[in-house]
Structure 1
Amino acid sequence: MIYIVFAIICSVIVSVNFKLLNRYYTNAYQAIVFNYPTAAIFCYFFFKPDLSNIPTYQNWLLFSVVAVLLISIFYFIGKSIATSGIVLTAIAQRLSLVIPVAAAFLIFSETTSTLKMIGLVIGFVALYISKPKGETKLKEMVSWYPIIVFLGTGILDILFNLLTQINNISFTASLVYIFSISAIIGFSTLIIQYLKGDLKFEIKAALAGIVLGIFNFGSIYFYLKALKLESNQPSVVFSSLDIGVIFLGSLVGIVLFKEKLSKLNTIGLILALIAIVILNLPNAI
């Protein structure tokens, strides 16, 4: 379980970094961009994936789509944490598992159970009542950030599942390709902004991005180590990670950043934990 604990800590530190980026850095996007080459380098040297097999055109297309989504969702996670807080963003991120679960039987015609359906309903209710305190109008962009994080992370979960099904290319090799593409896209946009005179390079933002990349990689590294160690019960890893991130994230948000939760937010937090437990039950009937 020690790997799960480390994965939880790294995930929450990523959220804390986003909170601090909003407070101390004028260009958080720069930090997000520098996070990706850092994560790619760490993935390559720690996992040592076999890159000898050349990806197909379809593989590159999938890698590119995931890369674009990654950098986009990371941006919206930062916006969500800055405006809605660590607690509500963590709930939105971790409840995103209802999307691949729902897609499994709505799109891919997999069988499901009554208990799983109950878990889905509870998850959607939890997301709805966990909206930012005082925000009731969906026309206001701040209300959409957690929803975008929820939808985007859920779609990424489905695409990451497709990555595990690619023949001759390991998941860790796919990660190296994806992080590298994200870095190329990110730096391309920064160069365009610089040439247009809309960007000023900030060393502190770059350093913050490197730190962000280290802990972003750490969350993935320890998560995969935990899955390998608990290969016979992956649902334990999934549920422990999701619950742990929400719990520790909530503790950090409330204690360190003085985030306030309404009664509905608190109920949403409890329902989110219940939904995660139900959806991760291996043999729910």
Structure 2
Amino acid sequence: MWDLIWSICCSSLIFVVFKLYKRFEIQTFYAIVVNYLTAFSVGFVLYDQPFRISAIISSPWFPGALMLGALFIVIFNLMARTSQLLGVSVASVATKMSLAIPVVLGVWWYDEVLGPVKIIGVLLALVAVYFSSVKKRNGPFVMRSLYLPLLVFLGSGVIDSSLKYLETHLVARSDFPVFSAMLFASAATIGIMGVLIQQPYNLVRFRPLNIFGGIALGIPNYFSIFFLLRALQTEGLNSASIFTLNNVSIVMLTTLLGIILFKEQLSWKNWMGIGMAILSILLISFY
């Protein structure tokens, strides 16, 4: 149970760090690149098996890891933008409600049965993203701003679905640690290439705050996955229960942290959206 608690804390901390980037004027994209270098380094240090590049490149999951790495860095930037503009609770709900997407794709890929209760859960997840995103502003609400949580929702769902596919068909259990490290390494490499193409001089003028911000993000980013994997091995709890407890707890903890740390104001619509989010996770996971 402690592994699950640590995973929840690390995942929630990611959204808080994103929010702090704006306060300390940290350049999000560069910090995210450092974050992935940090996460890869932590995984490499903790991996106690022989590390052979040739074997990794020839692995069947290697092309998928490269593609997922690219998606990781895009979605992380969108998560950061969502946290900064709309609040940590919005980013958290949009990310965790992506649980609905693997459920829907599971019907297609694995011939899973999607009963009426799960259909209601999927629809509730979509509505929850909207209601949790509507914020009070000085001016009229701009509908255009909803594209951020929507993209986070869709992108996170694609990541979860792709990971499930790769783990089921291509990645052996013994390869999971190095597979995870390669995801982070791929994301970092693609990020560095993006900097070299767009603004190469920024690598020379790299601000120390970006490095510190990336390290602060990379450590909880790695351990959020590390502890979740350990939690999935807990006897007496199936994976549906673990994922449900994980997602619901992250939504609630990030909401509380947003209120306590950043004085985020939640309207009755936001609270209703969060309530729908919790209900949809329960419906999707247990029925």
Give the alignment's TM-score, normalised by structure 1.
Answer: 0.91
**CA gap 1:193/1:3 in 2 versus in 1, 3 angstroms:** same
State the distance in 2 between where 1:49 and 1:100 align.
Answer: 32
State the distance in 2 between where 1:158 and 1:38 align.
Answer: 25
Report how far residue 123 of structure 1 moved.
1.5
| Mapping 1:239-254, distance limit 5 Å | 239-254=244-259
Query: For residue 9 of structure 2, what is the aligned residue in structure 1?
Result: 9
1:236 and 1:280 in contact (8 A); partners too: yes
Greater displacement, 146-155 / 258-267: 258-267
Q: For residue 126 of structure 2, what is the amino acid of its counterpart?
A: F
Match of 2:132 among 130, 133, 146: 130
Match of 2:98 among 92, 96, 99: 96
Q: Does 1:226 align with 2:226?
A: no
Q: For residue 5 of structure 2, what is the amino acid of its counterpart?
A: V
Report how far residue 214 of structure 1 moved.
0.6
**CA gap 1:193/1:26 in 2 versus in 1, 3 angstroms:** farther
State the distance in 2 between where 1:66 and 1:21 align.
Answer: 24
1:3 and 1:223 in contact (8 A); partners too: yes
**CA gap 1:3/1:87 in 2 versus in 1, 3 angstroms:** same
Q: For residue 98 of structure 1, what is the amino acid of its counterpart?
A: A
Residue-by-residue CA offset, 1:99-144 (whole Å, 9 max, x unaligned): 0101111454321222212211221221222223147543x2x321
Query: For residue 158 of structure 1, what is the aligned residue in structure 2?
Result: 161
Query: For residue 23 of structure 2, what is the aligned residue in structure 1?
Result: 23
Greater displacement, 183-192 / 219-228: 183-192
| Mapping 1:49-64, distance limit 5 Å | 51-52=51-52, 53-56=55-58, 59-64=61-66
Query: For residue 122 of structure 2, what is the aligned residue in structure 1?
Result: 120
Q: Does 1:275 align with 2:280?
A: yes
Query: For residue 82 of structure 1, what is the aligned residue in structure 2?
Result: 84
State the distance in 1 between where 2:49 and 2:282 align.
Answer: 33
Q: Does 1:41 align with 2:41?
A: yes
Q: For residue 161 of structure 2, what is the amino acid of its counterpart?
A: I
- Secondary structure at the aligned position of 1:261 is classed as coil
* RMSD over equivalenced CA pairs, Å: 2.1
**CA gap 1:7/1:246 in 2 versus in 1, 3 angstroms:** same
**CA gap 1:63/1:270 in 2 versus in 1, 3 angstroms:** same
Greater displacement, 21-30 / 187-196: 187-196
**CA gap 1:274/1:49 in 2 versus in 1, 3 angstroms:** farther
Query: For residue 75 of structure 2, what is the aligned residue in structure 1?
Result: 73
Greater displacement, 111-120 / 197-206: 197-206
**CA gap 1:50/1:157 in 2 versus in 1, 3 angstroms:** farther
Greater displacement, 146-155 / 178-187: 178-187
State the distance in 2 between where 1:153 and 1:242 align.
Answer: 13
State the distance in 1 between where 2:146 and 2:218 align.
Answer: 27
1:43 and 1:217 in contact (8 A); partners too: yes
**CA gap 1:49/1:120 in 2 versus in 1, 3 angstroms:** farther
Structure 2 unaligned regions, length at least 5 = none
Report how far residue 199 of structure 1 moved.
7.8
**CA gap 1:78/1:197 in 2 versus in 1, 3 angstroms:** closer
- Secondary structure at the aligned position of 1:229 is classed as coil
**CA gap 1:158/1:231 in 2 versus in 1, 3 angstroms:** farther
May I ask how many residue pairs the two structures share in their alignment?
280
